[in-house]
Amino acid sequence: MKKENIILSTIILSLFFIVFGCANLNKSKLVDAGGKAAQAALLTDAEINQLSVEYIAYSDKENQLCKDTDPNQKKYTDRLNRIVGSANTLNGKKLDIKVYYSSTQNAFACANGSIRVYSGLMDIMSDDELFGIIGHEIGHIANKDTKEAFRKALITSAALDVVGSTGKTAATLAESQLGGLASAYASAQFSQKQEYAADDYGYNYLKKNSKNPKAMASALRTLQKLYDNPAERSKIAQMFSTHPEAGKRAARLEKK
C-alpha cells in the first residue's frame, strides 16, 4: 500500500470523527461511512478507470446515443465531430466524445476519458460555446476532478460494497449497483476552485485551437439564464445545474 494512500485514508477517517464525533449519531453508521471513505480513497486510478468504463457503458444503455441511421440524430454527431475535429485528445489519448439525443441541457465527463453531450445543450449553444464546454469537461478530467467525484459517488452507493467484497475492483457490477452509482454521480458537485480551474482550461482550450475565448464566458451566461428561468430550469440535468454561480464565473472570465 502506498504511503500517500495510507495518509489520505487516515485524514479522511479523522475528518469524519472530528466533524461528527460530538453529534448525536449512530456510531456504527459513522464508522461505516468513515470506512467507506477510506476504502474509496485507496482505489487506484486504474480501478477508478475500470469502474468508469462500466458506468459509461451503463449510461449509454440507459440514454439514447445519436444514431447515424436517423438524419435528425446524425446531424448532432456530425456537428460535434466537426466542432471538436482533431482536438479530442488528452495527453496523447483520444477521448470518447458522443451525443445523447435528449432535450436535457447537459454535458458530463468520466475519469476514463468519456464525455457525453446532450443534443438539448447543442440546440442552445454556438459552435465555439460548445467547444468551450467540451474544453471545460476535459479540464475536469485533466485535473482529476472526475476521479474525486467518482470516489464520492462510490461512498454513497452500493457499488463500493461489491468492490470491497472481492478485495479488488469487480469485473462487472450489477445493474442495480450501476443504477445507484449513476444516481450518486449525477448528484456529485465540484468545488468552486475546481470549477474555476475547469473554466480556465476551457478558456485556454479555445485559445489554443484558434477559437474565440470569449465563448467560454458566453456559454456560462447561457447556463445562468436557463437556471434563472423557472420554466427552463427543469431541463438542466442535476449535475450541470450544480455548477456554482455560472454568472459570477462568466464575469471572472470576462475580465481576461
- Name the residues annotated as catalytic: 137
Whole-angstrom distance, CA of residue 51 vs CA of residue 149: 13
Helix (H, G, I), strand (E, B) or coil at 126: coil
- Which of 185, 154, 153, 148 shows the shortest CA–CA distance to 170? 154
179 CA to centre of own chain: 16
Cell (9 digits) for 204? 485556454
- Which of 88, 85, 9 shows the shortest CA–CA distance to 43? 9
Cell (9 digits) for 79? 456537428
The residue whose grid cell reads 431541463 is: 235
Q: Find out whether 49 and 62 touch, Cβ atoms under 8 Å.
A: no
Whole-angstrom distance, CA of residue 164 vs CA of residue 176: 16
